[in-house]
Amino acid sequence: MIYERIFYIVIISCLVACQPKQSTTSGVRWPFSADSAYSYINKQVAFGPRVPNTAAHQDCGDWLVGELYRHGAVVEEQHGTMINYAGVEQPIRNIVAHFKGRSAFTILLCAHWDCRPWSDEEDDYNNRFLPVPGANDGASGVGVLLEIARQWQSLSTMEEAIGVPSIDIVFFDVEDMGTPNHYTGLQREDTWCLGSQYWATQYKNTPTESRTKYQYGILLDMVGDPSATFPREYFSTLYAGSYVEQIWRIASQLGYGRYFVNQSAYPITDDHLYVNTIAGIPCVDIIDYKPNQQTGFAEWWHTQQDDMRNINKQTLQAVGQTVMTMICSK
């Protein structure tokens, strides 16, 4: 297939050009609790759908800021506006947390925290205008990153953690307000991921000497499905191929190869696209992709069934442990 040929060409070129640190698990089982990540997801869902401009969105955002502070982060909120699919100004609330490490490197970890306002993949027409609960599509990535934030404090006492990088955790807003299926106007891909477009543009416009120098980034999206499979997504391979190779190798070493499959996926418009193309930061998307589904995603994607019944602790552990090992690798 053409995507497989592109994949291998890009891998070879990026291995030469990018040359990241060689990874090793070094026999260290970096701490991560799937129970804790699950609890963080459940807490977000309990607020109700985190649709922008709603009380649930405001309350959950306040709670996220408080949790990040509690885990020792320096937190900033990034407020702005973008034009949505209907040509209307849409407020943005990105949440950025800085965690100091023990080396000169900084790694970007990100997920979106908003919910889609419409369940427009529902079979039942009457449900298509209800907001998505967003347990997997939104809350799962945030839950894993909150658990990584919680564990980051303990690394200061671990001798093995000497040299671990600083991390910035960014929760992107308004990822899921892309043009709805029922809209009769123009369907545009750039109506998705408004929060990351805003963040990436602000980053690009910051003077070089004043902005954080990120080694690479990892985006988590829909990482709680019991039957999750994470292929090597096309844009991730194109812009950050050597880091894709490193992450998938670590997952295999940890015994999570059934989740992190050695298969290519079609291009997916997700927050990492703009981190790569606007901000210029090589960023990998760890996203559940179902090639046998018409949408490419789980059968309950953008429906009322995206709830806690479809969140699995084993999947959360596989993702969290892999990411922790990757960012702590020397």
Domains of the chain: 2-328 (3.40.630.10)
Q: How far apart are CA 32 and CA 98, in angstroms?
A: 19
- pLDDT, residue 69, reads 97
Tokens 């996203």: give the residue.
287
The larger pLDDT score, comparing residue 108 to residue 8, is at 108
Tokens of 310: 């479809």
316-325 confidence digits (pLDDT tens): 999 999 999 9
Residues with Cβ within 8 Å of residue 58, at least 6 apart in sequence = none
Burial class (CB in 10 A: 0-12, 13-18, 19+), 315: buried
- pLDDT, residue 330, reads 67
Tokens 């405001």: give the residue.
58
Residue 154 gets the label, from left (phi > 0), alpha (psi -120 to 50) or beta, of alpha
Rg of the chain on CA atoms, in Å: 19
Tokens 């004043």: give the residue.
210
216-268 confidence digits (pLDDT tens): 999 999 999 999 999 999 999 999 999 999 999 999 999 999 999 999 999 99
Residues with Cβ within 8 Å of residue 108, at least 6 apart in sequence = 167, 168, 170, 214, 216, 217, 218, 275, 281, 283
Tokens 């490197």: give the residue.
105
Res. 14: pLDDT tops 50 = no
- pLDDT, residue 26, reads 53
SS (H, E, C) the chain: CHHHHHHHHHHHHHHHHHCCCCCCCCCCCCCCCHHHHHHHHHHHHHCCCCCCCCHHHHHHHHHHHHHHHHCCCEEEEEEEEEECCCCCEEEEEEEEEEECCCCCCEEEEEEECCCCCCCCCCCCHHHCCCCCCCHHHHHHHHHHHHHHHHHHHHHHHCHHHCCCCEEEEEEECCCCCCCCCCCCCCCCHHHCCHHHHHHHHHHHHCCHHHCCCEEEEEEEECCCCCCCCCCEEHHHHHHHHHHHHHHHHHHHHCCCCCCCCCCEECCCCCHHHHHHHCCCCCEEEEECCCCCCCCCCCCCCCCCCCCHHHCCHHHHHHHHHHHHHHHHCC
317-320: Cβ within 8 A, 24+ apart? 317/32, 317/34, 318/251, 318/254, 318/256, 318/259, 318/260, 319/144, 319/220, 319/223, 319/230, 319/259, 319/286, 320/32, 320/34, 320/37, 320/144, 320/147, 320/148
- Is residue 215 within 8 A of residue 106, CB to CB? The reply is yes
Distance of CA 285 to the CA centre of its chain: 7
Res. 137: pLDDT tops 70 = yes
Least confident of 129-138, 156-165, 243-252, 280-289: 156-165
Question: What is this structure's pTM?
Answer: 0.91
What value does the mean pLDDT take over residues 283-311?
Answer: 96
Tokens of 282: 């090589």
